[in-house]
Amino acid sequence: MTERVQVHEPFVDPAQQHAADMLGMYIFLASEIMLFGGLFAVLFVCRLLHPQEIAAASKELHLWIGGINTAILLTSSLAVAIAVQLARQGSRRAVAISLAAAAALGAGFLILKAVEYRLEYSDGLLPGFSTASKFANPATHLFMNIYLIATVLHAVHLSIGILLLAGLVWKLLRRSLQVPKRASVIAVSGLYWHLVDVIWIFLYPALYLIR
Protein backbone atom coordinates (compact mmCIF):
# COMPACT_ATOMS: atom_id res chain seq x y z
CA MET A 1 0.00 0.00 0.00
CA THR A 2 2.43 2.60 -1.02
CA GLU A 3 0.86 5.66 -2.50
CA ARG A 4 2.43 8.38 -4.49
CA VAL A 5 1.52 11.91 -3.62
CA GLN A 6 -1.26 12.34 -6.10
CA VAL A 7 -0.89 15.32 -8.37
CA HIS A 8 -3.95 15.92 -10.45
CA GLU A 9 -3.84 16.78 -14.11
CA PRO A 10 -3.31 20.56 -14.35
CA PHE A 11 -0.81 20.77 -11.50
CA VAL A 12 2.91 20.29 -11.77
CA ASP A 13 3.80 19.69 -8.13
CA PRO A 14 2.11 18.89 -4.81
CA ALA A 15 2.87 22.29 -3.29
CA GLN A 16 1.07 24.00 -6.15
CA GLN A 17 -1.85 21.62 -5.75
CA HIS A 18 -2.06 22.23 -2.02
CA ALA A 19 -1.96 25.99 -2.48
CA ALA A 20 -4.68 25.79 -5.13
CA ASP A 21 -6.87 23.60 -2.93
CA MET A 22 -6.50 25.95 0.01
CA LEU A 23 -7.25 28.99 -2.10
CA GLY A 24 -10.21 27.29 -3.73
CA MET A 25 -11.66 26.35 -0.37
CA TYR A 26 -11.14 29.84 1.04
CA ILE A 27 -12.89 31.37 -1.94
CA PHE A 28 -15.73 28.91 -1.56
CA LEU A 29 -15.96 29.89 2.10
CA ALA A 30 -16.11 33.56 1.10
CA SER A 31 -19.15 32.73 -1.01
CA GLU A 32 -20.67 30.86 1.94
CA ILE A 33 -20.13 33.94 4.08
CA MET A 34 -22.02 35.98 1.51
CA LEU A 35 -24.83 33.42 1.49
CA PHE A 36 -25.33 33.65 5.24
CA GLY A 37 -24.54 37.36 5.07
CA GLY A 38 -27.80 37.90 3.18
CA LEU A 39 -29.67 36.31 6.07
CA PHE A 40 -27.78 38.40 8.61
CA ALA A 41 -28.67 41.50 6.63
CA VAL A 42 -32.34 40.53 6.71
CA LEU A 43 -32.10 39.91 10.43
CA PHE A 44 -30.41 43.21 11.20
CA VAL A 45 -32.86 45.20 9.08
CA CYS A 46 -35.81 43.59 10.84
CA ARG A 47 -34.17 44.30 14.15
CA LEU A 48 -33.74 47.91 13.13
CA LEU A 49 -37.39 48.15 12.11
CA HIS A 50 -38.83 46.41 15.18
CA PRO A 51 -36.28 46.56 18.02
CA GLN A 52 -38.68 45.90 20.90
CA GLU A 53 -40.64 43.05 19.40
CA ILE A 54 -37.56 41.20 18.24
CA ALA A 55 -35.81 41.56 21.58
CA ALA A 56 -38.92 40.16 23.22
CA ALA A 57 -39.00 37.21 20.83
CA SER A 58 -35.30 36.57 21.28
CA LYS A 59 -35.78 36.32 25.04
CA GLU A 60 -38.15 33.40 24.47
CA LEU A 61 -35.42 31.33 22.83
CA HIS A 62 -33.53 28.75 24.86
CA LEU A 63 -30.38 30.71 25.53
CA TRP A 64 -28.68 27.93 27.46
CA ILE A 65 -29.29 25.24 24.87
CA GLY A 66 -27.85 27.59 22.29
CA GLY A 67 -24.92 28.31 24.58
CA ILE A 68 -24.17 24.64 25.15
CA ASN A 69 -24.41 24.07 21.42
CA THR A 70 -21.92 26.87 20.84
CA ALA A 71 -19.54 25.22 23.28
CA ILE A 72 -20.01 21.89 21.51
CA LEU A 73 -19.15 23.38 18.13
CA LEU A 74 -16.13 25.24 19.50
CA THR A 75 -14.87 21.99 20.98
CA SER A 76 -15.46 20.14 17.72
CA SER A 77 -13.38 22.79 15.97
CA LEU A 78 -10.62 22.15 18.45
CA ALA A 79 -10.80 18.44 17.61
CA VAL A 80 -10.51 19.18 13.90
CA ALA A 81 -7.61 21.57 14.44
CA ILE A 82 -5.83 18.90 16.48
CA ALA A 83 -6.55 16.34 13.78
CA VAL A 84 -4.83 18.54 11.19
CA GLN A 85 -1.74 18.89 13.38
CA LEU A 86 -1.65 15.15 14.00
CA ALA A 87 -2.10 14.43 10.32
CA ARG A 88 1.01 16.44 9.58
CA GLN A 89 2.85 14.23 12.03
CA GLY A 90 1.38 11.13 10.41
CA SER A 91 -0.42 9.47 13.29
CA ARG A 92 -3.24 7.93 11.32
CA ARG A 93 -5.26 6.40 14.17
CA ALA A 94 -5.13 9.56 16.28
CA VAL A 95 -6.28 11.63 13.31
CA ALA A 96 -9.19 9.28 12.73
CA ILE A 97 -10.15 9.42 16.40
CA SER A 98 -10.14 13.18 16.67
CA LEU A 99 -12.03 13.61 13.40
CA ALA A 100 -14.58 11.07 14.61
CA ALA A 101 -14.85 13.01 17.86
CA ALA A 102 -15.50 16.20 15.95
CA ALA A 103 -18.17 14.52 13.82
CA ALA A 104 -19.76 13.07 16.95
CA LEU A 105 -19.84 16.50 18.57
CA GLY A 106 -21.45 17.83 15.42
CA ALA A 107 -24.09 15.11 15.64
CA GLY A 108 -24.57 16.04 19.29
CA PHE A 109 -25.21 19.62 18.20
CA LEU A 110 -27.88 18.45 15.77
CA ILE A 111 -29.58 16.29 18.40
CA LEU A 112 -29.64 19.14 20.89
CA LYS A 113 -30.93 21.43 18.16
CA ALA A 114 -33.73 18.96 17.44
CA VAL A 115 -34.61 18.90 21.13
CA GLU A 116 -34.67 22.67 21.08
CA TYR A 117 -37.01 22.78 18.08
CA ARG A 118 -39.23 20.32 19.90
CA LEU A 119 -39.36 22.57 22.96
CA GLU A 120 -40.06 25.60 20.82
CA TYR A 121 -42.81 23.69 19.08
CA SER A 122 -44.52 22.85 22.33
CA ASP A 123 -44.02 26.41 23.55
CA GLY A 124 -45.91 27.61 20.51
CA LEU A 125 -42.92 29.58 19.26
CA LEU A 126 -42.52 28.08 15.83
CA PRO A 127 -44.86 29.87 13.47
CA GLY A 128 -46.75 27.83 10.97
CA PHE A 129 -46.00 24.60 12.80
CA SER A 130 -47.29 25.24 16.28
CA THR A 131 -51.03 25.07 16.66
CA ALA A 132 -51.38 27.83 19.20
CA SER A 133 -48.98 30.64 18.56
CA LYS A 134 -47.65 32.51 21.52
CA PHE A 135 -47.16 35.70 19.58
CA ALA A 136 -49.82 38.10 18.44
CA ASN A 137 -47.37 40.42 16.80
CA PRO A 138 -46.30 39.88 13.21
CA ALA A 139 -42.76 41.14 13.86
CA THR A 140 -42.09 38.41 16.39
CA HIS A 141 -43.42 35.86 13.92
CA LEU A 142 -41.07 37.32 11.38
CA PHE A 143 -38.18 36.92 13.77
CA MET A 144 -39.04 33.30 14.47
CA ASN A 145 -39.23 32.66 10.71
CA ILE A 146 -35.79 34.11 10.18
CA TYR A 147 -34.53 32.12 13.16
CA LEU A 148 -35.92 28.94 11.65
CA ILE A 149 -34.48 29.57 8.19
CA ALA A 150 -31.05 30.56 9.51
CA THR A 151 -30.73 27.64 11.91
CA VAL A 152 -32.02 25.09 9.40
CA LEU A 153 -29.63 26.38 6.74
CA HIS A 154 -26.83 26.12 9.30
CA ALA A 155 -27.90 22.62 10.26
CA VAL A 156 -27.82 21.59 6.60
CA HIS A 157 -24.27 22.89 6.34
CA LEU A 158 -23.32 21.10 9.54
CA SER A 159 -24.79 17.83 8.27
CA ILE A 160 -22.69 18.13 5.12
CA GLY A 161 -19.69 18.72 7.37
CA ILE A 162 -20.45 15.61 9.42
CA LEU A 163 -20.69 13.53 6.25
CA LEU A 164 -17.42 15.00 5.06
CA LEU A 165 -15.60 14.15 8.29
CA ALA A 166 -17.17 10.70 8.45
CA GLY A 167 -15.95 10.08 4.92
CA LEU A 168 -12.43 11.10 5.90
CA VAL A 169 -12.50 8.81 8.95
CA TRP A 170 -13.68 5.95 6.76
CA LYS A 171 -10.91 6.56 4.24
CA LEU A 172 -8.31 6.84 7.00
CA LEU A 173 -9.40 3.57 8.54
CA ARG A 174 -9.35 1.86 5.14
CA ARG A 175 -5.94 3.43 4.52
CA SER A 176 -7.12 4.86 1.23
CA LEU A 177 -6.17 8.27 2.62
CA GLN A 178 -2.56 8.42 3.72
CA VAL A 179 -1.09 10.80 6.23
CA PRO A 180 1.06 12.78 6.31
CA LYS A 181 1.25 12.59 2.49
CA ARG A 182 -2.28 13.83 2.03
CA ALA A 183 -2.61 15.85 5.21
CA SER A 184 -3.62 18.67 2.93
CA VAL A 185 -6.98 16.98 2.29
CA ILE A 186 -7.71 17.03 6.01
CA ALA A 187 -6.63 20.65 6.34
CA VAL A 188 -8.86 21.73 3.47
CA SER A 189 -11.87 19.80 4.75
CA GLY A 190 -11.21 21.20 8.19
CA LEU A 191 -11.56 24.71 6.82
CA TYR A 192 -15.16 23.98 5.89
CA TRP A 193 -15.88 22.63 9.36
CA HIS A 194 -14.40 25.71 11.02
CA LEU A 195 -16.45 28.00 8.83
CA VAL A 196 -19.66 26.24 9.87
CA ASP A 197 -18.49 26.88 13.42
CA VAL A 198 -17.74 30.55 12.72
CA ILE A 199 -21.19 31.03 11.22
CA TRP A 200 -22.71 29.66 14.40
CA ILE A 201 -20.45 31.95 16.44
CA PHE A 202 -22.27 34.85 14.78
CA LEU A 203 -25.71 33.26 14.62
CA TYR A 204 -25.78 32.59 18.34
CA PRO A 205 -25.58 36.20 19.55
CA ALA A 206 -27.49 37.49 16.53
CA LEU A 207 -30.45 35.24 17.32
CA TYR A 208 -30.36 34.32 21.00
CA LEU A 209 -28.81 37.35 22.64
CA ILE A 210 -30.89 40.23 21.29
CA ARG A 211 -31.69 42.46 24.22
**65 interacts with other proteins by CB under 8 A:** no
Window of 47-55, 101-109, 113-121, 164-172 that interacts with other proteins by CB under 8 A: 47-55
Any idea what the Cα angle at residue 23 is, between residues 95 and 97, rounded to 5°?
A: 10
**60 interacts with other proteins by CB under 8 A:** no
C-alpha closest to that of 191 among 40, 93, 66, 80: 80
Residues 6+ apart with CB under 8 A from 129: 121
**5 interacts with other proteins by CB under 8 A:** no
Handedness of CA 14, 15, 18, 20 (dihedral sign): negative
| Closer to other proteins by Cβ: residue 29 or 110 | 29
**With contacts defined by CB under 8 A, how many residues of the chain interact with other proteins?**
80
Quick note: the x/- pattern for other proteins over 182-201, rule CB under 8 A, is -----x--xx--xx-xx--x
Q: 3-state DSSP: the chain helix, strand, coil percent, rounded to 5?
A: 80, 0, 20
Q: How far is CA 66 from the centre of its chain?
A: 13
| Closer to other proteins by Cβ: residue 2 or 8 | 8
| Closer to other proteins by Cβ: residue 88 or 181 | 88
| Closer to other proteins by Cβ: residue 45 or 175 | 45
